[in-house]
């Protein structure tokens, strides 16, 4: 087991490989073209990431088609994909569906569903109300009813990440009293092309990260888990997703900071680069501090979830809160220091600002996660 923040040569090589791949096959021009396409991502590029590079299943055990390297390595990959704003089902597949599946006790389901996700041949998503690190039972809008030997799902969800392109939807539903001794929870698998499933793509602020409204009309589904196991799977998915979004936020903030530093070093005012002015230097320095602080929190979260060295919910919420605030602050500052160019469609800053805004609202806001951190760390004073 490596020590925390100790990146070995293999991790360093992995980072370089993914960075070179993104630079060659997903530069800004490709990102802009892909984000405006109907699907919102390039399936061939995604398959190359899974098959040719083998970087989609790094945190999945080898017996289920992954590499079994660990969450830290997967975080490094997400780091580089986030820096390049690569369009793909990162949130739905890597951050949510795969961690949820990996926790299940249904071995047949894992051997069937995980390998094609690791290879990039298929994509998936998790349909469940997750915020600030856990499953909101009261917010579940899908109901499951037993019809003989079949399970039927009904209901609708307003926003599902990668919901329009997913080949498999993992759906959390409430189970009525007719199916057992009392109402409970269950996790189902639904094929993306199943009859009775309606998926409506949504117009999103960040076009590089697609969402869809999903409706289930008494459609058959495969039962994967029930009861406490569903809660455990969703909590693990929420924690992993929070950490991976945190590393993505760090890399995005670092990339737009680098772009901004390059801009202020060449943009002239009063005969000298604006980066020579003390106020601009101080602003860039503060942005760098925010990025490095977020980097420490994000990778601490990845190591804590991988090695069990810290409370997983505490580490995940801390990572998500600090990284979200840093990404928003840095991307906002980048727009301001780019001047008028920062507000144009042709400019780069708005792409990172929109990703920062989306990441900051996904799976709980910074405020929600900080409240969770406070609840986990502060002693409750007993009444006098």
Contacts 24+ apart (CB under 8 A), 17-20: 17/53, 18/53, 18/55, 18/76, 18/77, 18/80, 18/81, 19/80, 19/83, 19/84
Phi, psi of 145 (to 5 degrees): -130, 145
Rounded Cα–Cα distance for residues 339 and 343 (Å)? 8
Q: How many C-beta atoms lie closer than 10 Å to residue 223's C-beta? A: 17
Topology classification of domain 127-229: Butyryl-CoA Dehydrogenase, subunit A; domain 2 (2.40.110)
Report whether 294 contacts 220 (CB < 8 A).
no
141: exposed, middle or buried (Cβ count in 10 Å: 0-12, 13-18, 19+) = middle
**pLDDT > 90? residue 266:** no
Note the pLDDT tens digit of each residue in 92-147.
999 999 999 999 999 999 999 999 999 999 999 999 999 767 899 899 999 999 98
Numbered ranges of CATH 2.40.110.10 in the chain:
127-229
pTM: 0.94
Mean pLDDT of all residues in 324-330 = 98
Q: Tell me the three state secondary structure of residue 68.
A: coil
Note the pLDDT tens digit of each residue in 299-313.
999 999 999 999 999
- Residue 274 — very low, low, confident or very high, per pLDDT cuts 50/70/90? confident
Average pLDDT of the chain to the nearest whole number: 93
Mean pLDDT of all residues in 266-281 = 81
Mean pLDDT of all residues in 348-371 = 95
- Residue 277 — very low, low, confident or very high, per pLDDT cuts 50/70/90? confident
Q: Which CATH superfamily hosts domain 9-123? A: Acyl-CoA dehydrogenase/oxidase, N-terminal domain (1.10.540.10)
Residue 311 is predicted with a pLDDT of 94
Report whether 298 contacts 252 (CB < 8 A).
no
Higher pLDDT, 342 or 236: 236
Residue 180 is predicted with a pLDDT of 47
Rounded Cα–Cα distance for residues 206 and 194 (Å)? 28
Residue 2 is predicted with a pLDDT of 62
- Residue 270 — very low, low, confident or very high, per pLDDT cuts 50/70/90? confident
Residue 381 is predicted with a pLDDT of 45
Helix, strand, coil shares of the chain, percent, nearest 5, are: 55, 15, 30
Numbered ranges of CATH 1.20.140.10 in the chain:
232-377
Note the pLDDT tens digit of each residue in 160-216.
999 999 999 999 999 976 544 445 999 999 999 998 999 999 999 999 999 999 999
Mean pLDDT of all residues in 348-377 = 94
- Nearest partner of 199 among 223, 227, 169, 173, judged by Cα: 169
Topology classification of domain 232-377: Butyryl-CoA Dehydrogenase, subunit A; domain 3 (1.20.140)
Residue 268 is predicted with a pLDDT of 73
Numbered ranges of CATH 1.10.540.10 in the chain:
9-123
């Amino acid at each position: 087991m490596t020590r925390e923040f100790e990146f070995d040569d293999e991790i360093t090589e992995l980072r370089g490989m993914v960075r070179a791949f993104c630079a060659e096959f997903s530069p800004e021009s490709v990102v802009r073209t892909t984000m405006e396409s109907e699907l919102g991502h390039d399936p061939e590029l995604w398959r190359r990431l899974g098959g040719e590079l083998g970087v989609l299943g790094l945190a999945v055990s080898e017996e289920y088609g992954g590499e079994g390297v660990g969450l830290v390595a997967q975080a490094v990959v997400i780091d580089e994909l986030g820096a390049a704003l690569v369009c793909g089902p990162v949130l739905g597949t890597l951050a949510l569906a795969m961690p949820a599946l990996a926790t299940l006790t249904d071995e047949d389901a894992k051997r069937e569903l995980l390998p094609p996700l690791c290879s990039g041949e298929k994509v998936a998503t998790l349909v469940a109300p997750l915020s600030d690190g856990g499953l909101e039972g009261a917010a579940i809008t899908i109901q499951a009813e037993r019809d003989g030997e079949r399970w039927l799902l009904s209901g609708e969800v307003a926003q599902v990440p990668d919901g329009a392109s997913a080949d498999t939807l993992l759906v959390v539903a409430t189970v009525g009293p007719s199916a057992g001794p009392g109402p409970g929870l269950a996790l189902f698998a639904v094929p993306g092309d199943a009859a009775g499933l309606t998926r409506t793509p949504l117009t999103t602020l960040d076009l590089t990260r697609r969402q869809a409204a999903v409706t289930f009309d008494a459609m058959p589904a495969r039962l994967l888990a029930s009861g406490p196991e569903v809660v455990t799977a969703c909590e693990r998915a929420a924690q992993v997703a929070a950490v991976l979004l945190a590393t993505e936020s760090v890399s995005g903030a670092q990339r737009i900071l680098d772009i901004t530093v390059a801009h202020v070093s060449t943009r002239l005012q009063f005969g000298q680069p604006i980066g020579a002015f003390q106020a601009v230097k101080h602003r860039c320095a503060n942005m760098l501090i925010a990025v490095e602080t977020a980097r420490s929190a994000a990778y601490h979260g990845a190591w804590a979830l991988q090695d069990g060295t810290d409370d997983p919910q505490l580490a995940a919420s801390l990572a998500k809160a600090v990284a979200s605030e840093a990404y928003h602050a840095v991307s906002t500052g980048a727009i301001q220091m780019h001047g008028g160019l920062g507000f144009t469609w042709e400019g780069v800053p708005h792409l990172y600002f929109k990703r920062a805004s989306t990441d900051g609202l996904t799976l709980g806001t910074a405020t929600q996660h900080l409240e969770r951190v406070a609840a986990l760390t502060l002693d409750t004073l007993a009444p006098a």
